[in-house]
Structure 1
Amino acid sequence: MIKKIIILGGGTAGWMAANMLAKRWANRGIDIALLESTDIGIVGVGEGSTPQLKSFFDYMGIAEQEWMPACNATYKTGIRFCNWSTKKGFENYFHPFPTQPDDYSAPAFFYNAFVRRRGADVYAHPDKFFLATYLASHHLGPQPDHRFPFQVGYGYHFDSSLVGQFLKEHAKKLGVTHLDHRVVDVRLNAQGYISQLMTDDGQALEGDFFIDCTGFAGLLIQKTLQVPFVSFAKNLFNDSAVVMPTAQVDDFAPQTTSTALQYGWMWNIPLTNRVGNGYVYSSAFCSKDAAEVELRTQLNMLDSDVPVRHLKMNVGRVEQHWAKNCLAVGLSQGFIEPLEATALHLVQETILSFAEAFEQGNFSEQEQASFNQKINQRFEAVRDYIVCHYRVNSRTDTDYWRENANNNYLSDSLRRLLQVWVSGDNLTQEIERQQIGGYYPSASWHCLLAGYGVFPEQKQLSAGNAIANKYKLETIEDFISRCALNFSSHKSQLAALRAHM
């Protein structure tokens, strides 16, 4: 029986775990404490999310006007990818978050992409087929007029350190105990389970279950319980980042921008008070000094004295996220580079899946094994989608991009998806066959591959006939533009949130 849970490590992951479990198990008589040391900093650069983060705040009963202004948050309808492809007309594309109106417009995109792969010269770039793309390009926020009866998915941008602080105060209101100590030793019982955390002031903190939120250090899951780490280095080359802020402009789109540079890519994330910028790169191809120079050059801040932060990333996952009486959450369990802002999504899925598995089987080996397999599959599915961005790039300007394009260290799943696409077969059916649509839906895969222009060369295409021109692009564009009349500016929606503080 679990009577006391100790979460080691704060940050967004730790306090998210504390909040979710405190709410879910409010009537189970379980004492939850979070132990962190103010002497240990957090990485704190994850400033974007997927739409799943909204479900977390909805579950917690926290309104947007309560947390977003406090965390300098903005809306996010998707990600704009720039310069990943060199193919004419496909130099950039938008990966949209789903909306209900897509049910009307997306089939036209799927169809056009299908017949173009089979040689018809039809328009198959994703940007004209999705409402979220239109909202971003016209700087419209994702909150519709109340008369618009369709759901719109969206994520957020935010200051991660402020989100951590916000969730800390909220968790304390739910009864979570906050302890400020530094752990100097971890003690195991005779069965190899964690029994005590020894602090720098001589205390022995006992618990029944422990959650490791110690970041890349993995103090409990990796260093104490010796759970092996599975590196993704052969799939994903990037292991470093350099980050710096810039001033915010008056009006900005609800989107993350990912721009390919010489040895990786640069993010641009708009908050209400600043813009977050970072260059994610591979240290095997680029030095930290060269990366900083390239980032500053891109931002026109080569002569600026604004400081930067250099970070190292350990890309991969642990073999077991739940081992003995310890659950790893956040960077301690693994990390996939931030290209699709999946870090907090993986945190949510881990906590929710653990709670469900524990409630079904307590400490049974069967439930642990099923849980670990489920989380590993999610990590690998996210990895495959991100690997695909690099594998299908058409840049040849540096050895970094050439080696990514020639990297054949692919999973069987991704290899099959690419085979289906280039052979002109039905990608949606293959996604359904593999049962991976719950990780990234067919629309996401279509946007990626079509957005890069992974089609036959223009000279190989023939003029579309009546079958190929089944859908009229003008009708789709008219439908989306009329839907967008129900949305106000991103700027005004953020102002309305602040007005309700």
Structure 2
Amino acid sequence: MTQTPRRNLVIVGGGTAGWMAASYLNRFLVRKGWQITLVESPDIGTIGVGEATIPSLVRFLRAMDFDEDVFMRRCAATYKLGIAFTDWFGHGHRYFHPFGICGSINGLDLFHFWMKHRIEGQATEAYTDYSLQSLLADEAKGPRQHGADSPIMRTGTYAFHLDAGAFAQFLKEVATAEGVRHLFGEVRAVRRDPWGDIAAIDIGGGRELAGDLFIDCTGFRGLLIEETLGDPWIDWGRYLLCDRAVVMPLPREDDPLPYTRSTALDAGWMWQIPLSTRTGNGYVYSSQHASPDQAAQALIDRADLRRARSADPRHLKMRIGRRGNGWVRNCVAVGLASGFVEPLESTGIHLIQRALELLVDNFPAGDRDDLLRAAYNRRMQALYEEVRDFIVLHYVLTDRVEPFWRDARSVAIPDTLQDSLDAYEMDGRMHLTHSDIFSETNHHFILAGNGRLPRRPTARVDFTPLQPIVPVLRQIREQNRAMAASLPSHRALIAAINANP
């Protein structure tokens, strides 16, 4: 029996992207005879911010067979049930984007029946008043009892706030314990074979790493995908104006809330992400509308960082857009090397995760790999465009009068988003071209939260009598209240998780 020769996968760059790639891909490839090596510079530190996630991370943790409590303790994690948007539509206005759905009737999202109730029954409840996650967020409740299951846990409709640096370290320990080789070094040269593929990288000290497949996790630089293979960057600055961020931590709040806060400021928006050890604060802004000093001062003033400042401001430049093709020849870009859309809806880790899942689904087989690469690139391009459109949606709905906000809502709207909005105006259906992350329900939360409602309910609902619908709506709210009453405070749940190593 002929033994299959060992093949080499080389990951260039560490951080969240690199170590997610190493730990996840190793689980699939080690049994196929692949050796994974991750090489990173010893001089490039991580940003180390608190990071928010979306429910797909639950799928990743379960695929990796991680104990959720252990993961949460290691990563200073708290639960996230959605995002609260304050002052986005105008000063004093607040709406909530929860995870999960509010419910469905006869196969249609509850939104359409809620709309009918609003129109015909003069109901005053908000659409999110039917969301269990929204109710739990309002009451600062956790999604489960400690050591017990719950409907939210079974459906996976929750996410986490986590320390990104600690998450990378956790994954590093898992990956290296399972056979991933870890090296420090600087890429000094890239050698290509006669067909144009990457054959090996020189990492200094007389060391050369040969590889069959390379993963570029070198951030915006794109050392392999762009500098070596020449894949272009498609800039989306005409759609999204925020291109800078300033970051500062704050000591932990006494009561970490189970949701992310996004507060609109004069030239962008501020995030507040509660971890179990501290609170992450950052201001995402447009450099055309505020200077770095102005942005830092606005963050300090708004987050009250003068009271307990634990670090100096850290300034970051953001490159908004995506690769022309994230997979070129034998190199796949993952993380910032692949693309970046501002972190308003916490999609950064999800985009890394989906890149890895799609790579496994389309892994090179040695036969017509060009078709596999093309399939991967189509899916990733559509995914980035879906995120872009959803973020643009938040800006075009605003009614704020500051120059940044006037400019942000006056951007060119992508055709894909405009077509969906035109359909929504008629009867509330979005007719989405792609829906990998953000379904019609997600769009309904944002549109209804900003007071943008369609002209009428969809026809099937319009033909349905209102009388039998009202008790169903009432029952949903009663069930949610009963569930909320049975759950502990988020603070108590996080304390219990961290008290039981």
TM-score w.r.t. the length of structure 2 is 0.90
Q: Closer, same or farther in 2 for the Cα pair 1:343/1:476, shift >3 Å?
A: same
Question: Contact 1:119/1:456 (CA < 8 Å) preserved in 2?
Answer: no
How big is the shift at 1:110? 3.1
Partner of 1:286: 290
How big is the shift at 1:223? 0.8
How big is the shift at 1:122? 3.7
Question: Contact 1:11/1:44 (CA < 8 Å) preserved in 2?
Answer: no
Partner of 2:95: 93
Q: Partner of 1:7: helix, strand, or coil?
A: strand
Q: Closer, same or farther in 2 for the Cα pair 1:162/1:340, shift >3 Å?
A: same
Paired residue for 1:15, among 4, 12, 19?
19
Q: Closer, same or farther in 2 for the Cα pair 1:64/1:456, shift >3 Å?
A: closer
Partner of 1:461: none
Partners of 2:7 and 2:318 in 1: how far apart?
Answer: 35
Partner of 1:262: 266
Partner of 1:471: 470
Partner of 1:334: 339
Partner of 2:171: 167
Partners of 1:119 and 1:294 in 2: how far apart?
Answer: 45
1:196-275 correspondence to structure 2 within 5 Å: 196-275=200-279
Q: Partner of 2:271: helix, strand, or coil?
A: strand
How big is the shift at 1:487? 1.8
Q: Does 1:102 align with 2:107?
A: no
1:123-202 correspondence to structure 2 within 5 Å: 123=124, 125-144=126-145, 146=148, 148=150, 151-202=155-206
Partner of 2:461: none
Q: Closer, same or farther in 2 for the Cα pair 1:6/1:152, shift >3 Å?
A: closer
Q: Does 1:450 align with 2:453?
A: no
Partners of 2:76 and 2:150 in 1: how far apart?
Answer: 27
Partner of 2:322: 317
Q: Which amino acid aligns with 1:357?
A: N
Count of equivalent residues: 483
Question: Contact 1:113/1:450 (CA < 8 Å) preserved in 2?
Answer: no
Q: Greater CA deviation, 360-369 or 144-153?
A: 144-153
Q: Greater CA deviation, 66-75 or 315-324?
A: 66-75
Q: Which amino acid aligns with 2:370?
A: E
Question: Contact 1:248/1:275 (CA < 8 Å) preserved in 2?
Answer: yes
1:326-365 correspondence to structure 2 within 5 Å: 326-358=331-363, 364-365=369-370
Q: Closer, same or farther in 2 for the Cα pair 1:148/1:198, shift >3 Å?
A: closer
Q: Which amino acid aligns with 1:34?
A: L
Deviations 1:144-178 (A, max 9, x none): 58575563511111110111111101001110000
Q: Partner of 1:68: helix, strand, or coil?
A: helix
Q: Does 1:63 align with 2:61?
A: no
Structure 2 unaligned residues grouped into runs of 5+? 456-463
Question: Contact 1:213/1:329 (CA < 8 Å) preserved in 2?
Answer: yes
Partners of 2:308 and 2:137 in 1: how far apart?
Answer: 30
Partner of 1:439: 437
TM-score w.r.t. the length of structure 1 is 0.90
Question: Contact 1:48/1:269 (CA < 8 Å) preserved in 2?
Answer: yes
Paired residue for 1:54, among 55, 58, 75?
58
Partners of 1:15 and 1:209 in 2: how far apart?
Answer: 16
Q: Closer, same or farther in 2 for the Cα pair 1:57/1:147, shift >3 Å?
A: closer
Q: Closer, same or farther in 2 for the Cα pair 1:2/1:450, shift >3 Å?
A: farther
How big is the shift at 1:253? 1.6
Partner of 2:500: 500
Partners of 1:344 and 1:482 in 2: how far apart?
Answer: 33
Identity %: 37
How big is the shift at 1:45? 3.0
Q: Closer, same or farther in 2 for the Cα pair 1:444/1:360, shift >3 Å?
A: farther
How big is the shift at 1:488? 1.6
Partner of 2:487: 487
Structure 1 unaligned residues grouped into runs of 5+? 458-465
How big is the shift at 1:495? 2.3
Q: Which amino acid aligns with 1:414?
A: L
Q: Partner of 2:128: helix, strand, or coil?
A: helix
Q: Closer, same or farther in 2 for the Cα pair 1:340/1:317, shift >3 Å?
A: same
How big is the shift at 1:2? 7.4
Q: Which amino acid aligns with 1:445?
A: H
Partners of 2:274 and 2:429 in 1: how far apart?
Answer: 34
Paired residue for 1:300, among 304, 310, 325?
304
Deviations 1:344-363 (A, max 9, x none): 11111111111111156656
How big is the shift at 1:499? 3.1
Question: Contact 1:33/1:178 (CA < 8 Å) preserved in 2?
Answer: yes
Q: Closer, same or farther in 2 for the Cα pair 1:363/1:225, shift >3 Å?
A: farther
Question: Contact 2:191/2:198 (CA < 8 Å) preserved in 1?
Answer: yes
Partner of 2:38: 34
Paired residue for 2:372, among 367, 374, 388?
367
Deviations 1:253-275 (A, max 9, x none): 21000011101000000001110
Deviations 1:391-443 (A, max 9, x none): 111111x1110112222x12222101211223x32415x23xx3x23331111
Q: Does 1:411 align with 2:423?
A: no
Question: Contact 2:50/2:273 (CA < 8 Å) preserved in 1?
Answer: no
Q: Closer, same or farther in 2 for the Cα pair 1:304/1:174, shift >3 Å?
A: closer
Q: Partner of 1:220: helix, strand, or coil?
A: coil
Partners of 2:304 and 2:150 in 1: how far apart?
Answer: 42
Q: Closer, same or farther in 2 for the Cα pair 1:326/1:222, shift >3 Å?
A: same
How big is the shift at 1:331? 0.5
Q: Greater CA deviation, 194-203 or 152-161?
A: 194-203
How big is the shift at 1:109? 3.5
How big is the shift at 1:479? 2.2
Partners of 2:134 and 2:421 in 1: how far apart?
Answer: 25
Q: Closer, same or farther in 2 for the Cα pair 1:236/1:114, shift >3 Å?
A: farther
Question: Contact 1:78/1:97 (CA < 8 Å) preserved in 2?
Answer: yes
How big is the shift at 1:37? 1.4
Q: Which amino acid aligns with 1:96?
A: P
Question: Contact 1:238/1:337 (CA < 8 Å) preserved in 2?
Answer: yes
Q: Closer, same or farther in 2 for the Cα pair 1:62/1:482, shift >3 Å?
A: same
Q: Closer, same or farther in 2 for the Cα pair 1:221/1:44, shift >3 Å?
A: farther
